Structure 1
């Protein structure tokens, strides 16, 4: 028995894989996920600390700076937020690539993919709330949604460039 998977189906499968990864990640406590011990072990000498000490930001009412949280937690903050953005960038991209050719209106496909990504991000934060030792944040939902939107917009931009190049060749 041979199973034929279409390109759009493969993207939908990848979107569900991303959702599974996010679900598993949300099921873990902060202490199970922290990268601080890894950073402490492999970033000896605290590279760029003098440069990074100049930066401070407010995220969800908390100051994020080396002075406030320490060097390794400061780095971990950006790693964690980058993971938020990146995973939802991929989720939004995969969803869009999986459904865009199945809908007649591309902008509607993009809009639905952003809404679906935001909805999943909200349920993901709720899941973190009931996991314990995690802090669900509305700001993370917005960061996740921004990641999904950027992924979808990049897909649309690449598609437009591809179509323009293809038209010039013909």
Structure 2
């Protein structure tokens, strides 16, 4: 059925899309990591250090003072998940499409645009889900994650290919 490695990468891209769809179907209360963070980080490590940081994201202040230690840490966990899942989605898509599309650059552009488009539809899906807030800033974060996955893999493949040619 799946004879080439690139077939498996496309399957992994579809798995990532399914995970993202499922995650977007959950309300914030269903997927919050605050209770877990409260158990794991009960001594609030690095609280003093984290308390010195404050910034705005999507019009809201993000800081320990504004949202509390656990919600501030959760903010980074959630945004890291955004970046990481779209990093993997685009990476798998790129590796699956690279042998099928003439030119690695074109495969990269297509994978990046597809991941960014999926991010936009994912935020729309969140708008339809209760207790969720769709954010344009999250689409941009997802897009940067996707581009990072493609660029990093392109650099790795370039150097691996160069080493093989020697």
Deviations 1:2-49 (A, max 9, x none): x34311110000000000000000000000000001111121111110
TM-score, length basis structure 2:
0.98
TM-score using structure 1 length: 0.96
For these two proteins, the number of residue pairs brought into alignment is 166
Aligned in 2, Cα 1:163/1:75: closer, same or farther, shift over 3 Å? same
| 3-state SS, counterpart of residue 107 of structure 2 | helix
Q: Which runs of 5+ in 2 are unaligned?
A: none
| Structure 2: distance between partners of 1:11 and 1:42 | 34
SS at match of 1:101: coil
Runs of 4+ in structure 1 deviating by more than 4 angstroms, as ranges, are: none
Distance 2:113 2:24 in 1: 20
Q: Which whole-Å CA distance do the structure 2 matches of 1:31 and 1:73 have between them?
A: 13
Long gaps (5+) in structure 1? none
- Asked if the contact 2:90/2:150 (under 8 Å) is kept, the reply is yes
User: Within 5 Å, which residues of 2 pair with 1:79-158?
Assistant: 79-158=77-156
**What is the CA-CA distance between 1:156 and the residue it aligns to?**
0.5
Task: Report the equivalent of 1:42.
Answer: 40
Q: Deviations over 1:107-148 (max 9, x none)?
A: 111111111000000000000000010010000000000000
Cα distance change, pair 4–93 in 1 and its aligned pair in 2 (3 A): closer
Alpha carbon RMSD of aligned pairs, Å?
0.7
What is aligned with 2:51? 53
